[in-house]
Amino acid sequence: MLTLTCPYCGNAAEETELAPGGEAHLKRFGPGSSDEQFEDYLFARKNPKGVHFERWRHAYGCGKWFLAARDTVTLEVFGTYKAQTPNPTPEIVAAVQAKRPNWTPDWTSTPATTTSAESLTE
Amino acid sequence: MSDNGPFRLSRGGRLIDRAYQLPFRFDGRQMRGVQGDTIASALLANGQLMMGRSFKYHRPRGPVASGAEEPNALLGLGQGGRFEPNQRATTTPLVGGMVTTSQNCWPSLNFDIGAVNNKLYRFLPAGFYYKTFIHPRPAWKHLFEPIIRRSAGLGKAPTEGDLDTYEQAYGHADLVVVGGGIAGLTAALEAGRTGKTVTLLEQTPQFGGRTPTDHADGQARIDALLAELHALPNVTLRRNTMATGLYDHGYLIAREALADHDPNAGIPRQRLWRIRAGHVVVASGALERPLSFAGNDVPGVILASAVRDFVDLYGVAPGRNLVVVTNNDDAYRTALTALDAGLAVAAVIDARPTAQGALPEAVRARGVRVLTGSAVAGIKGGQAVEGVKLCAHSGSGDVTEVIAADCVAMSGGWSPVVHLWSHCGGKLSWSEDRAMFYPDLARPPTGADGAAMATPLGAAAGDLTVAEVTGAVAEQPLLPVWVMPVNATRKMKFKMWLDFQNDVKVSDVELAAQEGYQSVEHTKRYTTLGMATDQGKVSNINGLAVLSKALNQPIPATGTTTFRPPYTPLTLGTIGAEARGELFQPLRKTDIHGWHESNGAFFEPVGHWRRPYCYPKAGESHHDAVAREIRAVRASVGTLDASTLGKIIVKGPDAGKFLDMMYTGLMSTLPVGKCRYGLICNENGFLVDDGVAARLSEDTWLVHTTTGGADRMHAHMEDWLQCEWWDWKVYTANVTEQWSQVAVVGPKARVLLERLGGTIDLSAEALPFMGWAEGEIAGIPARIFRISFSGELSFEVAVPAKRGREFWEKLHEAGRDLGITPYGTEAMHIMRAEKGFIMIGDETDGTVIPQDLGMSWAISKKKPDYIGKRAQERSFMSSPERWKLVGLESVDGRVLPDGVYAVAEGSNANGQRNTQGRVTSTYMSPTLNRPIAMGLVLHGPNRMGEVLEFPVQGAETYKARIVDPVFYDKEGSRANG
Amino acid sequence: MAEALAKITELKDLGMVQIRADLVRAGDAIAAATGLAMPAANATVTDGARTLCWMSPDELLLVLPKAEAREATQALADALSTEHALVLDVSDMRAAFAIEGARAAQALAKLCPADIAAMPADGIRRTRAAQVACGIWRRGEGFVLIGFRSVGDYIGGLLRGAARPGTELDPR
């Protein structure tokens, strides 16, 4: 059973205090998107063997959704980070690559800069 | 012969106190043990060597081990609500007055009908069950199954509820050490000195492991370690605590026995520990392996270490005249222990060509025959050992001599206990010299940080001998012996047991290999090797060595079966812990719950809530009560406890924009002071919740959800706010529990509420339908919503939750002359169905969109987006072939069964009738005095008046006419009062 | 007869005010309105009968005598009227229990996966007690545990069971 540290309250919470939320960093496609885009968004999941980014909610704690970078095979946790980012942060990428040198990001855009909500959660 | 039993030695027994005698019963016979005994040692002291029968052949069985690995000595313990089957006699401390019974035998332990299976062993080989499943089939059904069902099985399941209680506890430690032997104690001390928090778990009642028995200064060394450990406040030593499993991220489960030994202690019997360990030291020791020789299952053939334990720990002689059979030096300790206790040792039979180590020499010096290069060809005796047939180990079993003996102490070497190491992914290596699997330090189980989360130590790491831990006498290497003698005949292999409990023999594993089984996991299932309640602790290594030989491959190529928790069986009660009876699951109660109880409510579960289904009067059926409640509401006034409805506050400059995304309809345009009904879909377009939202102020809405939807919808909102629109300024709060809500419903509702007095104008002008107002009523702060789920004039009154009952009672006081009637969920359901209102979970099932329910009116055409909008644009969502909501009117006056399907012409590819609709809600309407129903039907709204057929097995086909779903008050005038 | 691990008392007169706001921006206003300093993350600040609890990065809970809740709610709402903030009187929403005694932490260790014993003197932790959500902070020699009102009976039963005499977690 996993233990993950919530990046909002800083508490290490065990899995029973958390609610899982599936793959992280999905880009929402709404009205106006193509069938293919919408299908990808709603149904296509990476389900990788190895490095994975996923959503968790500190449901029995501070109530915040956060993201975790984890190895789906060994359950090694590379880091947890706040949900208000479209892609894993440079720190998380570095933490993953420190342990998995052969892993490379599969996204191209750079993470957005600090958002307005960020200040609420510092 | 002492008065503590005929086989109790006059001295020795470091764990027992002869002065405290404990009477107990075994199969109805009165026996006596002493304080410190296990049940096994007490039975042995009384000369009761035979303790059970094996699973398949019902062979007589005595203990083969002295600890947790024991496969044979399983007993039923206790009586009635404290009866428990399959308890290990070797690990269960004896308690005065205990009632124990043998298992798997009928009519008695000594004479057992099932033992006839024993004569049939040639016809019940490996895979017997599977083979008879296949051919001949009738033989299985009529011949084998009835016989096997009668004779199979070990203990009997208890028939009464468990009288004991259990609890659990969470633990946290930098280091958890599993095993309180010398390795574990040493590790705990080292870590403890550094200031780490250390928890050490020892499964038996005493610390020390094998060291006190096997080492001259053993007890002194253990005592010295314990003295130092007890002085460290950061070290916790727990006895009677068995580590059952090690899981991800250092999560370790253990079982502490609290009152196993004293059922009258008035405390929980066992405690389940859930420990988060920074690191785990696996110092769980090693288990001795039996030797596979013909007759190795006869009672009295016992592991050498167990013989030593019985003599040294309990002062009990498993026999008076021993033969030791071994392939290693360690077993010579048993000869020395036996001699020291005054027992005779007829010979040591050693498979090795020579035995020149210190231990063999010490045994020779005591005048004992040491027969090297020798083996056991067979055991003389059936229910007990009478003699040992000697042969050369290198041969095929020609008997050279029969040595008289009443006990055989056997040792095939030792296997590290690698269970915890392996549970979470630690890998093993094979040691050729030591003939054992041991933890591969290069491939440990890893934790959250990717580093090893466990370290093996001592015997569990493969450092088997006491010498390696304590630096005492050196031992000579063992000779791997998997079958004894080397060239044993097929006939001998039929009598060489691997799995004593499940009756798996060398011949069975060889047969499996011959029949093509190569995977050890498949062979395990096919032969049932290692599937007994000891989970192969005694049998596995010998079994896979035999399999490897038969497959002509090295042992590591065969590998081991998977080690899975629990290490030893856990009682289900322990896993359930406190979650029994009242605490089985949290029951959510409204503030008014107590009133419902004292007014005879019949409750139904709604999620974790208990809601009144109806309030039957004395002698009244539920059906009649529901009908009475509905008539009372429609005629005068009734009250429903609606406190369970979800209530979520949504506030902020972007709250309107946000709610427009949550709902299919527009909420941003709702005027302050008004309510609006809305639908919430998921991103897949399907309807997941509905309810009424009220605008409290310019930037604040109160969202009502269904009872089951409160937490789910709040989480749904937070998900979108936190993860998608994190720059929108919106706060939500789930205030479901802050309010008690009472629906006051019926033509007399306003009259009644006005009687309570207060600051809120309840007139139709001041508080119209779908309006809300705030103020005080009956001296209680309140919000009142003019919303109706019944079609009647209806006020939903929300008061601070803890004043709910007060308000409810004031209502009932004031409404007595109006015939005020409390009504339950069933009346609510029927009244909404009479009005054609949908119910989430009845009309919806996760595949229904609002458009299916004729609710396009609740979907904004103006909005560019809402959750579910894109999904609803998919072609199959707008397909005219989707089933749509209609009313269904029974043709013959019978109430349609819930969920039945309407059939169409033809059949599908599977030969089933095609369907064209199904019933989603169906009731007998007390208002209309006829059955009503709703359903989803192909092209339904275009087929008004058509009659559908609903075939039901075992009944005349139901028929119903498609009608408008609004059965009552189509104009909706009643809600206006 | 052995003693109970802790004395369990239901606290029926607690009022509670939920505050959601940008705690950095609104901190001074909140401190002024509540009369308490702003708590650090995972901490409480107590003065007399009032405790201000940190619940999440944008949420506080003011715990005070129930009779003061309405007024405090209004004062906070006024103080935060120019902020994007949410202030609610939630005094009826929860059940609260005092767990007092030398082994109070042991009773909680039977119910909560979080390491309550390791919590500092001004600490607060939201976790679960068996099957329900709860919040726990230290008060004097013991703890206050809050959970939802509807499961108050369940929580009371859990706590009394966990504190049962003779069930100390001390090694035996």
Dump the DSSP string for B577-616. Answer: TT-SGGGSSPPB--TTHHHHHHTTPEEEEETTEEEEEE-P
**Does residue B936 carry a pLDDT above 90?**
yes
Residue of B nearest to A32 (CA): B870
Contact A31 B449 (CB under 8 A): no
The pLDDT value given to residue A119: 40
B28: left (phi over 0), alpha (psi -120 to 50) or beta: left
Contact C114 A13 (CB under 8 A): yes
- Sheet containing B301-303: order of strands: B301-303, B407-411, B321-326, B344-350, B370-372
Specify whether the CB–CB gap between B131 and B526 falls below 8 A: no
Selected for mutation to probe chain B from A16, A23, A77 (highest B CB count within 10 Å) is: A77
The pLDDT value given to residue A113: 47
How many of the other CB atoms lie within 10 Å of CB of B10? 12
pLDDT tens for B324-343 read: 999 999 999 999 999 999 99
Q: Which residues contact A106 (CB under 8 A, 6 or more apart)?
A: none
The pLDDT value given to residue A115: 43
Chain C residues bordering chain A (beta-carbon distance below 8 Å): 22-25, 41-42, 55-59, 113-114, 125-128, 133
Q: So what CATH class is B1-162?
A: alpha beta
Residues in chain A within 8 Å Cβ distance of B586: none
Selected for mutation to probe chain A from C58, C86, C131 (highest A CB count within 10 Å) is: C58
The pLDDT value given to residue B151: 58
Shortest Cα distance from A28 to chain B (angstroms)? 8
The pLDDT value given to residue B467: 55
Contact B874 A63 (CB under 8 A): no
Residues in chain C within 8 Å Cβ distance of B168: 110
Residues of chain C with pLDDT under 70: 1
Specify whether the CB–CB gap between B373 and B351 falls below 8 A: yes
Share of chain B above pLDDT 70, in %: 94
**Does residue B474 carry a pLDDT above 90?**
no
Q: Which residues contact B29 (CB under 8 A, 6 or more apart)?
A: none
The pLDDT value given to residue B80: 86
Residues in chain B within 8 Å Cβ distance of A33: 870
**Does residue B125 carry a pLDDT above 80?**
no
| B850 band by pLDDT with thresholds 50, 70 and 90 | very high
Shortest Cα distance from C22 to chain B (angstroms)? 11
Residues in chain C within 8 Å Cβ distance of A121: 57-58
Residues in chain A within 8 Å Cβ distance of C112: none
| B475 band by pLDDT with thresholds 50, 70 and 90 | confident
Contacts 24+ apart (CB under 8 A), A34-43: A35/B874, A38/B870, A38/B871, A38/B874, A42/B683, A42/B684, A42/B871
Contact C84 B238 (CB under 8 A): no
Residues in chain B within 8 Å Cβ distance of C169: 169
Residue of C nearest to A121 (CA): C57
**Does residue B119 carry a pLDDT above 70?**
no
**Does residue B150 carry a pLDDT above 80?**
no
Tokens of B517: 């089984």
Residue of C nearest to A63 (CA): C56
Q: How many CB pairs under 8 A join A and C?
A: 51
Q: Read off φ and ψ for residue B445, nearest 5 degrees.
A: -70, 135
DSSP B891: S
Contact C164 B267 (CB under 8 A): yes
Task: Please state whether the peptide bond connecting residue B566 to the residue before it is cis, i.e. omega within 30 degrees of 0.
Answer: yes
d(CA B773, CA B754): 14
A16 and chain C: CB distance < 8 Å anywhere?
yes
- Cα–Cα distances in Å, from A56 out to A5, A11, A12, A43? 10, 14, 13, 19
Q: Which of C106, C131, C153 is closest, CB to CB, to B589? A: C153
Q: Which fold has domain B166-287+416-470?
A: FAD/NAD(P)-binding domain (3.50.50)
Specify whether the CB–CB gap between B299 and B383 falls below 8 A: yes
**Does residue B124 carry a pLDDT above 60?**
yes
| B677 band by pLDDT with thresholds 50, 70 and 90 | very high
pLDDT tens for B193-210 read: 999 999 999 999 999 999
Across chain B, mean pLDDT equals: 93
**Does residue A114 carry a pLDDT above 50?**
no
Poorest-pLDDT segment among A6-15, B263-272, B652-661, C152-161: B263-272
| B137 band by pLDDT with thresholds 50, 70 and 90 | low
Shortest Cα distance from C171 to chain B (angstroms)? 5
B398: left (phi over 0), alpha (psi -120 to 50) or beta: beta
For range B13-41, the mean pLDDT: 96
C154 and chain B: CB distance < 8 Å anywhere?
yes
Q: Which residues contact C63 (CB under 8 A, 6 or more apart)?
A: C14, C15, C16, C50, C51, C52, C53, C144
What residues does each domain of chain B span? 1-162, 166-287+416-470, 290-412, 482-553, 642-818, 868-974
CATH 3.50.50.60 fits B868-974, yes or no: no
The pLDDT value given to residue B37: 97
Q: What is the CATH number of domain B482-553?
A: 1.10.10.1100
Residues in chain C within 8 Å Cβ distance of A11: 42, 114, 125
Residues in chain C within 8 Å Cβ distance of B250: none
Specify whether the CB–CB gap between B275 and B199 falls below 8 A: yes
The pLDDT value given to residue A120: 40
What residues does each domain of chain A span? 3-104
**Does residue B136 carry a pLDDT above 90?**
no
Shortest Cα distance from C150 to chain B (angstroms)? 5
Chains that touch A (3 or more CB pairs under 8 A): B, C
The pLDDT value given to residue B1: 41
Contact A3 B448 (CB under 8 A): yes
Poorest-pLDDT segment among A54-58, B475-479, C86-90: B475-479
The pLDDT value given to residue B2: 47
**Does residue B262 carry a pLDDT above 80?**
no
Chains that touch C (3 or more CB pairs under 8 A): A, B
d(CA A11, CA A58): 9
pLDDT tens for B864-884 read: 999 999 999 999 999 999 999
**Does residue B577 carry a pLDDT above 80?**
yes
Torsion angle of C-alpha atoms B520, B526, B532, B535, degrees rounded to 10? 20
Specify whether the CB–CB gap between B408 and B301 falls below 8 A: yes
d(CA B889, CA B887): 7
CA B925 to chain centre: 44
Contact B865 A57 (CB under 8 A): no
A104 and chain C: CB distance < 8 Å anywhere?
no
**Does residue B952 carry a pLDDT above 90?**
yes
| B130 band by pLDDT with thresholds 50, 70 and 90 | low
For range B620-646, the mean pLDDT: 98
Specify whether the CB–CB gap between B368 and B452 falls below 8 A: no
Q: What is the CATH number of domain B642-818?
A: 3.30.1360.120
**Does residue B470 carry a pLDDT above 50?**
yes
Shortest Cα distance from B616 to chain C (angstroms)? 24
The pLDDT value given to residue A118: 40
Specify whether the CB–CB gap between B919 and B888 falls below 8 A: yes
Q: So what CATH class is B290-412?
A: alpha beta
A101 and chain C: CB distance < 8 Å anywhere?
no
Q: Read off φ and ψ for residue B431, nearest 5 degrees.
A: -105, 115
For range A96-116, the mean pLDDT: 76
| A108 band by pLDDT with thresholds 50, 70 and 90 | confident
| B132 band by pLDDT with thresholds 50, 70 and 90 | low
Q: Which fold has domain A3-104?
A: Folate-binding fold (3.30.2270)
Tokens of B417: 């206990």
The pLDDT value given to residue B534: 84
d(CA B69, CA B90): 9
Contact A38 B684 (CB under 8 A): no
For range B794-821, the mean pLDDT: 98
Selected for mutation to probe chain A from C18, C19, C20, C22 (highest A CB count within 10 Å) is: C22
Task: Please state whether the peptide bond connecting residue B485 to the residue before it is cis, i.e. omega within 30 degrees of 0.
Answer: yes
Residue of C nearest to A116 (CA): C22
Contact C126 A62 (CB under 8 A): yes
Equal CATH topology for B166-287+416-470 and B290-412: yes
Residues in chain C within 8 Å Cβ distance of B237: 171
Share of chain B above pLDDT 90, in %: 85
Domains of chain C listed by start with CATH number: 7-11+93-162 (3.30.1360.120), 14-89 (3.30.70.1520)
Nearest to C109 by CA among B580, A15, B578, B168: B168
Contact B731 C153 (CB under 8 A): no
A39 and chain B: CB distance < 8 Å anywhere?
no
d(CA B376, CA B367): 21
The pLDDT value given to residue B376: 98
d(CA B776, CA B772): 13
